[in-house]
Amino acid sequence: MIRAGVIGASGKMGGLIIQNIARSEGIELSSAYDLNKIGEDAGDVAGAGSLGVSIASVEDLGEVLKESKTNVLIDFTIAAATASNAPIVAASGVNLIIGTTGFSEEQKEAIEESILKNGVSAVIAPNYAVGVNVFFKIIEEAAKYLPDYDIEVIEAHHNRKQDAPSGTAMKAAEVIGKAVGREEYIFGRQGNAPRKNEIGIHAIRGGDIAGDHTILFAGEGERIEIKHQAHSRDAFAAGAVKAAIWLKDKKSGIYSMEDILGL
């Protein structure tokens, strides 16, 4: 049985992850952490029913990880928090599922270094939805056949998302850029028209949009649009739990959703 911890347990994503753990086989909630609702049952807070696991303070992360015998921690919080907590988790010998986005290069390098130095395993991905990772593969193949087309990435999320553009949009641009040999990205069009050979990336924030990503390939007389739409955040939570189960017994290293899905 995989013993999983969830950080950010009182938030929306944390709650969805706990719900998915509660209804999945081969995995159970062993610990939960947050800055709020400390001492309350994590299952009750998540709407999954009592699970007998109290929410602990993030300040006690290392101690509770060891006491609870947690062997994988799922983190979908914010960049600053993950950058601070991931080294503690790795030093505790606990594997990581990281869905946080918006890291600086320095934060990303420090997290990866702590994982490798402590000999644990991790899955780090900007998006855990199965469909969006197939989407990455589709746009990569399409780009190979449309290298001279103008390419724009448009993404939309809810008005509380911490980073812009999304990690998924950046990953999509990087996948396409690698396929067509373009490394210049611009964000928005103000002051950048007419366009040149860059890939444009545009962010929309509003309402409760779970996550829309559209890739526009525009040529002379025609265009192709490839889109992925998340109907709810449950797709991300389900993918994260799938990743936690997949990571069991994997050798030390950093993996992606492409590894999990065989892409």
17 neighbors 240 (Cβ within 8 angstroms): yes
- Among 117, 127, 70, which residue's Cα sits nearest to residue 95? 70
Q: Say if residue 125 carries a ligand binding annotation.
A: yes
Give the separation between CA 51 and CA 9, rounded to whole angstroms: 13
Write down the catalytic residue from 157, 171, 202, 242: 157
Q: Say if residue 214 carries a ligand binding annotation.
A: no
Question: 14: which 2 tokens?
Answer: 């944390």
Q: Say if residue 167 carries a ligand binding annotation.
A: yes
Q: Say if residue 102 carries a ligand binding annotation.
A: no
Residue 161 a catalytic site member: yes
* Secondary element (H or E) of residue 196: none
Give the separation between CA 213 and CA 226, rounded to whole angstroms: 8
Q: Say if residue 126 carries a ligand binding annotation.
A: yes
Q: Say if residue 13 carries a ligand binding annotation.
A: yes
Q: Say if residue 147 carries a ligand binding annotation.
A: no
Q: Say if residue 158 carries a ligand binding annotation.
A: yes
Give the separation between CA 37 and CA 22, rounded to whole angstroms: 19
Write down the catalytic residue from 37, 108, 161, 250: 161
3 state SS of 182: coil
Residue 66 a catalytic site member: no
Enumerate the active-site residues: 157, 161
Q: Which residues are annotated as a binding site for NAD(+)?
A: 8-13, 99-101, 125-128
Q: Which residues are annotated as a binding site for (S)-2,3,4,5-tetrahydrodipicolinate?
A: 158, 167-168
